[in-house]
Amino acid sequence: MELCTFIANNMFTISNKMLAGVLLITLSVSMKAFSQDPEQKNTLTLSEVWKKTSAYNKQLQMKQLSVESAEARVKNAKTERLPEVSGGGMYARFSNFALYEDGILHAPTQIPIEKKGTYKVSGEAFLNLYNGGKITREIHAAETEAELAAEQKNLTEQELRYKAAAYYLEIYRNYQYEKVMLQDIAEREKELEEIRHLQQNGVVLKSDVLRAELRLSKQKMTLLEIRNSLKIAMQRLNIMMGDPDANIIRIANDTINPIPRERTYEDYLNDAYENSFEFKISEKETKLSELKLQQVKSNIMPKVGLFAEYGYSFPQILMYPYSFNLYGLGMAGVKASLPISQLYTNKHRKAEARINLERQEVEHADTKDRVREEVNTAYLRYTEALTRIRVAKENIAQAKENFRIVNNTYFNQLSLLTDLLDAETQLLQSRFDLTTAEVTAQLQYYQLLKATGNL
């Protein structure tokens, strides 16, 4: 009986160990799957991200509806050129004719009306010939507002594309960080085993082992931070695209594209003055202010138009002798009017419109300054990032050589562990710096395209 119990207990222990081993393997595989299993990822290029983001974004949808509304206003303004046509009718019943022969304080004599019903059916039309050019300016203003709405939509879409590109490049950067960190952790684990072997042989102190273990622990914590940052960036981009938060995104291999360097600052500035959406919006707003001033000035102009009307009435009480018969009467001619009161009431409206135009012109000049400043800043940061890439590559070569020398001297007992740890830190940081420089250069290039209206 005791033998059976012993065997059963040991079988239970073995089973628990096997289960624990399976769980550890499963956990390890699931952690690596996040960054290594391409089958579970959604590979997207930046162009595809921009397409999905534009299709999902609510702000862009509202801007598109604003564009459609402005286009409808243009069509509505053009209909003002058409003649105004109206029709009407009337039917009524007459009461008896009350004749007050002895004054209103006495009862009247009621005289019956032979035909108590009256009716009228008529139609009229008016065609505007001239009203100071108001209709033409209203059409131009509506067209300018439609163009303004389109530029505002383009600006929103451009800002959206830049934001999506920033998240996309952040995901790329964290993937690269993770790759570098995993490689470094693998190398540090091998190094730790070598240091432990030296410590067992009495070559190095226990403190070297502890320092190496502490560094490895910090590296693993840094890897966790990188993976969390990767998840955060993915969630943000998924939200912009309308995808589930937990959707895993794999970055395309050609994310970091070769960046053209032959263009000068003046080339980008000329592009900005021609294509910048902010500059175009400011121009459209200035044009609208000019049209509003011209519209106010036309308030004192006469209005001239053709009119025609025709109607049937019963009974005929327009001219004497009256008749209880249906009659028709029409007329046509030219109608003109002059708003005389506008000669003195329009003065302050015109002054207000002129001040608004001057304010808009100053704002347009300020927008031009801001565009020039934005292009200059983006261009300088962009060229700076290109230089940083070159320096980062040189630093990696120097850090590798420095690590090789210190690594050989440490394991030959010619240098301290602190020197080796410093060399490892410099090499790891130089690799991080190269990735950061490449991502920054790409993002600054997109910022430069955004400033010039070409993103």
**Strand, helix or coil at 244?**
coil
> How confident is the model over 204-227, as pLDDT tens digits?
778 888 888 888 898 899 999 999
Mean pLDDT computed over every residue of the chain: 82
Span of 6-15, 146-155, 416-425 with lowest mean pLDDT: 6-15
> How confident is the model over 184-196, as pLDDT tens digits?
898 888 888 888 8
At position 32, the amino acid (one-letter code) is K
Q: How far apart are CA 191 and CA 205, in angstroms?
A: 15
Q: In which band, very low, low, confident or very high, does the pLDDT at 405 lie, cut at 50, 70 and 90?
A: confident
Class of domain 43-82+131-302+338-452: mainly alpha
- In this predicted structure, what is the pLDDT of residue 258? 61
pTM > 0.85:
no
Whether pLDDT at 22 is above 50 = no
> How confident is the model over 252-264, as pLDDT tens digits?
877 777 666 678 8
The residue among 31 and 146 whose pLDDT is bigger is 146
Q: Percentage of the chain surpassing pLDDT 70? A: 89
- In this predicted structure, what is the pLDDT of residue 116? 66
CA angle 39, 29, 41 (to 5 degrees): 20
* Across 285-314, average pLDDT: 88
Whether pLDDT at 171 is above 90 = yes
> How confident is the model over 231-241, as pLDDT tens digits?
999 999 998 88
Residue boundaries of the structural domains of the chain: 43-82+131-302+338-452
User: At 150, which helix (H) or strand (E)?
Assistant: helix 134-200
Whether pLDDT at 21 is above 70 = no
Span of 33-37, 411-415, 416-420, 430-434 with lowest mean pLDDT: 33-37
Q: How far apart are CA 52 and CA 46, in angstroms?
A: 10
> How confident is the model over 427-440, as pLDDT tens digits?
888 889 899 999 99
Of the candidates 160, 159, 167, the one whose C-alpha atom is nearest the C-alpha of residue 44 is 167
Q: Cα separations (Å) of 417 from 237, 412, 425?
A: 43, 11, 12
> How confident is the model over 49-90, as pLDDT tens digits?
899 888 888 888 888 899 999 989 898 888 888 888 988 888
Q: In which band, very low, low, confident or very high, does the pLDDT at 34 lie, cut at 50, 70 and 90?
A: very low
Locate 22 and state its tokens. 């399976």
Q: Percentage of the chain surpassing pLDDT 90? A: 21
Q: How far apart are CA 163 and CA 101, in angstroms?
A: 90
> Which alpha helices (H) appear in 265-341, and where do they start and end?
265-275, 277-297
Whether pLDDT at 23 is above 70 = no
- In this predicted structure, what is the pLDDT of residue 131? 85
Whether pLDDT at 109 is above 90 = no
* Across 25-31, average pLDDT: 39
The residue among 169 and 14 whose pLDDT is bigger is 169
Whether pLDDT at 294 is above 80 = yes
